[in-house]
Amino acid sequence: MNVVFTVLLIVSVVVTIKSNQANADSSFRRVCYWSSWAYYRTGNGKFTEANFDASICTHMIYAFTKLSDQNTIAAFDPYLDVDKGMYKHFNNLRQKNPKLKTLVAIGGWGEGSDKYSAMANNAGHRKTFIDSVVKFIGQHGFNGLDLDWEYPGQSARGDGDRQPGNEADKQAFVDLLRELNVAFKPHGYLLTAAVGAGRSIIDRGYNVPEMNKYLDFINLMTYDLHGSWEQKTGHHAALHSGPGDNEQDKMLTVESAVDYWLKLGAEPKKLIVGIPFYGRTFKLQSPQNNGINAPANGGGSAGPYTKSSGFIGYNEICENQSKWSVHWDDQRKATYAVMGTEWVGYDNEQSIMAKVDFIKSNGLGGAMVWAIETDDFNGLCGKGKFPLLNAINNGLK
């Protein structure tokens, strides 16, 4: 073998290895939740099976199912989920995109924590639950389960109101994940979990190295870090901290939450960063003092579709974009908007691209969105359908 051929061969091998590494690094997950109650919204906020796009996400999660009094998984809305065939419509998206994985989520804020604690801390109840989940997934044709217990070790009720719960939940949660993992393996089902971003929630509820063993990936809920339960405005999903933030505020950022999960041993490629497609709103005390950390009294006015004070969908913001004065905080990499005494912090394409860069630079597993039905899915704001979701998709390709 001559010297020139040897050099060319080495160069070829190095290029191939780097190319393969690049391809491996580019396989980011794009995890998309759909909250089924959006089916009942009115006007342009109503989201039905006709609005699904199977091409943008790698994983789609149907939210939610519930835990029955018999410790079994159960349809949250049997009329919509089963009678109207929404489970079927959801899973049929794989016919349009065979690479798509569909999961069903159980839990959520409205379900609370206590009944999950009671189930997980009893071996017999865990078995009943797990057997029912395996049967449910097979019966309805999902690819796996997303466990959204909010939160182990907490007894949570109301925005911002998280009371200490059962300390045994931390181990019980691991036991539940381990036993679900064992039961899922013969079927090839995926097992994921939606987890909290606040340090008190993490410390009390999660054994991160053990969770790594049993979960295919971890959906980090890096939003709702601030809200109308506070007396000052705060961006609920800012990437970084900024001027005027106190020590507590500095921990309530996407960067801080991700760093803490990684410090505790989360596998970077399993950590999926949550991006909200909605804003948290406040009522300003004075329209003249309208930046981040400005004095506020409660939540802003309800939107026409989501109809909830303190919360507004991106679609509700952008459809009225001419009425809002939009501001960019370059240090926090965060967008907020003001309309009189109305104040909202939210994500748009600019802040999303900053988060995409953050995901890439930290070698993380991808992005998760809550939720697709508050994107501009009708394309009414002049940037085509699903502008936020497409920003993530294009950035992570």
Q: What is the CATH number of the domain that holds 144?
A: 3.20.20.80
pLDDT of residue 163: 74
Stated length of the chain: 397
User: Which residue among 150, 267, 342, 373 is the active-site one?
Assistant: 150
Mean pLDDT of the chain: 93
Q: Could you read off the pLDDT of 230-251 as tens digits, one per residue?
A: 999 999 999 999 999 999 999 9
Instruction: Please check whether residue 223 lies inside any domain of the structure.
Output: yes
Instruction: Please check whether residue 304 lies inside any domain of the structure.
Output: no
Instruction: Please check whether residue 16 lies inside any domain of the structure.
Output: no
Note the pTM of the prediction, 2 decimals. 0.93
Q: Could you read off the pLDDT of 107-129 as tens digits, one per residue?
A: 999 999 999 999 999 999 999 99
Exposure pattern of 228-251 as b/e (b: 16+ CB <10 Å)? bebeebbbbbbbbbbeebeeebeb
Residue 17 has pLDDT above 80, yes or no: no
Q: How confident is the model at residue 332 (pLDDT cuts 50, 70, 90)?
A: very high
Instruction: Please check whether residue 305 lies inside any domain of the structure.
Output: no
* Tokens at 93, concatenated: 């998206």
Q: What is the mean pLDDT of residues 20-48?
A: 84
Q: In sequence order, what are the residues at sequence separation of 6 or more whose Cβ sits closer than 8 angstroms to the Cβ of residue 338?
A: 284, 287, 290, 324, 325, 327
Residue 25 has pLDDT above 50, yes or no: no
> Is 150 one of the annotated active-site residues of the chain?
yes
Q: What is the mean pLDDT of residues 5-10?
A: 40
Instruction: Please check whether residue 10 lies inside any domain of the structure.
Output: no
Q: Could you read off the pLDDT of 266-317 as tens digits, one per residue?
A: 999 999 999 999 999 999 999 999 999 999 999 999 999 999 999 999 999 9
pLDDT of residue 269: 98
Instruction: Please check whether residue 119 lies inside any domain of the structure.
Output: yes
Instruction: Report the domain count for the chain.
Output: 1
Instruction: Please check whether residue 292 lies inside any domain of the structure.
Output: no
Sign of the alpha-carbon torsion through 234, 107, 368, 175:
positive
Instruction: Please check whether residue 1 lies inside any domain of the structure.
Output: no
For the ranges 21-30, 146-155, 368-377, the lowest mean pLDDT is seen at 21-30
Residue 239 structural domain: 29-276+348-395
Exposure pattern of 90-121 as b/e (b: 16+ CB <10 Å)? bbebbeeeeebbbbbbbbbbebbbebbbebbb
